[in-house]
């Protein structure tokens, strides 16, 4: 007994050409290339199971991108009918194959607050009247609360902001440290002898 016929994807020659261009583009993100392959393969063979097996993916992923393409089909046809240029049609295609916005709660801290927290971390602790030689996440959290940058923040959150704010190859730690005055001419004091 056979089930319902699978939904089919039909591509215009222009859509086919632009999808092939994306597939061959060396700078295209792999997730986009994988989605393009799904659409191209489904256009040739509408069987979700066979396409999933052939591409080494699961059926849910193949079905998701088939459905997303089918939802965008009217917009694609309309763009072509309106005489959209190749870059404009390419933008519609890439939008159809882009990730959907993910649900989640609103951000707890505004970007301006995060920037201010990082700026405080770059200052010497003495500038915030802290009797410490270097910032800890706990001290920094207390300092930004006292400055009323944020109403409340945990040391863990401060540490997370500083960790993600760091450049991949940062030469120095992000937290500022007070360096002791270097004694001149005293060997072993960190200075250079004369």
98-125: per-residue pLDDT in tens?
987 778 778 888 889 999 999 999 999 9
Residue 129 corresponds to which tokens in the numbers above? 């009247």
CA atoms within 13 A on the CB side of 157: 14
Of residues 128 and 189, which shows the higher confidence score?
Answer: 128
Q: What is the pLDDT of residue 6?
A: 72
Q: Please, which pLDDT band fits residue 174 given cuts at 50, 70 and 90?
A: low
Residue 137 burial (10 A CB sphere; 0-12, 13-18, 19+):
buried
Distances (CA, A) of 62 to 40, 49, 67, 86, 125: 11, 8, 9, 26, 54
* 39 within 8 A of 65, measured Cβ to Cβ: yes
Give the phi and the psi of residue 67 in degrees, each rounded to 5.
-65, -40
CA pseudo-torsion sign 73, 74, 78, 81:
positive
Of residues 174 and 112, which shows the higher confidence score?
Answer: 112
Beta-bridged to residue 134, according to DSSP, are: 177
Question: What proportion of the chain, given as a percentage, has pLDDT over 70?
Answer: 81
Beta-bridged to residue 177, according to DSSP, are: 134
Q: What is the pLDDT of residue 180?
A: 60
Statement: residue 72 has pLDDT above 90 = yes
- What is this structure's pTM? 0.54
Looking only at Cα atoms, what is the longest distance across the chain?
94
Statement: residue 193 has pLDDT above 50 = no
Could you say which DSSP state residue 106 is in?
P
């Amino acid at each position: 007994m056979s089930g319902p016929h699978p939904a089919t994807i039909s591509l215009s020659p222009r859509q086919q050409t632009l999808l092939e261009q994306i597939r061959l583009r060396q700078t295209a993100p792999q997730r986009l290339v994988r989605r393009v392959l799904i659409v191209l393969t489904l256009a040739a063979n509408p069987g979700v199971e066979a396409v999933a097996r052939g591409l080494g993916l699961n059926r849910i992923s193949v079905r998701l991108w088939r459905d997303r393409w089918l939802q965008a089909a009217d917009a694609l046809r309309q763009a072509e009918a309106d005489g959209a240029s190749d870059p404009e049609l390419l933008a519609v295609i890439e939008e159809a194959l882009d990730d959907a916005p993910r649900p989640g709660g609103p951000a707890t801290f505004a970007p301006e607050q995060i920037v201010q927290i990082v700026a405080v971390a770059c200052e010497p602790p003495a500038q915030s009247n802290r009797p410490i030689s270097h910032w800890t996440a706990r001290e920094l959290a207390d300092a930004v609360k006292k400055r009323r940058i944020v109403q409340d923040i945990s040391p863990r959150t401060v540490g997370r902001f500083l960790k993600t704010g760091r450049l991949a190859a940062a030469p120095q730690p992000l937290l500022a440290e007070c360096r002791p005055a270097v004694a001149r001419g005293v060997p072993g004091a960190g200075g250079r002898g004369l």
